[in-house]
Amino acid sequence: MTRCTLARRTRFLRGVAKALVAAGLVFAVSIPILRWAVRGGIPALSDQIGKSAQEHLALPSGVAPTAESRLAILADKLRPQTAPSSRSFRVLLANYADIHSFNLPPDAIVVTAGLVCAAADPDLVVEAIALQLAHLENRDVTHSVADAVNWHSPVAFLRGDLSALRDRMLDFADPKHSPGFTEAEDNAAGERALALLRLAGSTIPSTKELTSRAERLAEVHLEAGESPPPAPAGADEFNWPKARAEACDVIGRAGASAD
């Protein structure tokens, strides 16, 4: 091999090495940039992931018209106090037996039929909505999704594949897989939910009681399709007994179809 040929090959290998190092640096930098974008730096991106998650859930509509309309009424109690960016939020009913609520950006709060069926008092449901609304305002779900960005994410993003990030968001829909929120996020959401409830006329004295009521409700043992216990006085304002009965029936039908 001549000295000239060796020199050319050396220059070529150096060029390749520099290109690989540059590509590696660009790839490494793309991870924090993508995390920033998903976290809310580019709201359209996190909203796109949320809309994909909503579509993937394919929640039924019209299966419990009274329950769904009462959820809308409860949401409207909070809407005037909500931050302008989240004021168009919707409350959707999921036909799940789990006593659970969660939110999916940019505008969806999901309440399960199990929660409605188990809640003797509609205030328990509006409290759950207020907590999720506070998390929605703070974009806490998207923060968790952003933390899931890894070495595979930039390549998937370039291919237009957001399924891994969508699936991370959908983990919040399942109490068994939900990553939950940080202590700071929970505390901030509790304080904000309390403010929303007080402005809406509710009389919850502390975030500790708000959390305690939610935990007690989650401990209720609920059989699919069971009839709700008698409603307390004053619950007829929203025709809550009928809403609960519909939600219990939805659970029963969902269980029957699964069998």
Q: Give residue-wise pLDDT tens across range 115-149.
A: 999 998 898 899 999 999 999 999 999 999 999 88
φ, ψ of residue 112 to 5 degrees: the values are -80, 155
104: pLDDT confidence band, cut at 50, 70 and 90? very high
Indicate the SS3 state at residue 108. Answer: strand
Cα gap 242→142, rounded to integer Å:
35
Q: Name the burial class of residue 129, with classes exposed (0-12), middle (13-18) and buried (19+) by CB atoms within 10 angstroms of its CB.
A: buried
| Claim: this prediction has a pTM higher than 0.75 | yes
Counting Cα atoms < 13 Å in the Cβ hemisphere of 162 gives 19
Tokens of 59: 């929640």
Q: What is the mean pLDDT of residues 52-65?
A: 91
| Whole-number pLDDT of residue 217 | 66
Q: Please say whether the beta carbons of 142 and 172 come within 8 A.
A: no
pLDDT at residue 9 in the model: 52
Is the C-alpha dihedral spanning 36, 42, 43, 46 positive or negative?
negative
26-30, 139-143, 181-185, 211-215: segment of lowest average pLDDT: 26-30
Question: Residue 69 is which amino acid?
Answer: S
* pLDDT score of 5: 61
> Is the separation of the CB atoms in 115 and 93 below 8 Å?
no
* CA dist., res. 174 & res. 100, Å (int): 8
Q: Please give the pLDDT value at position 237.
A: 53
Q: Give the per-residue pLDDT at 42.
A: 83
Report the mean per-residue pLDDT for the chain. Answer: 81
Give 206's strand partners. none
Domain ranges (residues) in the chain: 3-258
**pLDDT over 90 (residue 6):** no
Percent of the chain with pLDDT over 90: 48
Per mean pLDDT, which range of 50-59, 211-220, 223-232 is the poorest?
A: 223-232
- Check pLDDT > 70 for residue 45: yes
The answer to whether residue 159 scores a pLDDT higher than 80 is: yes
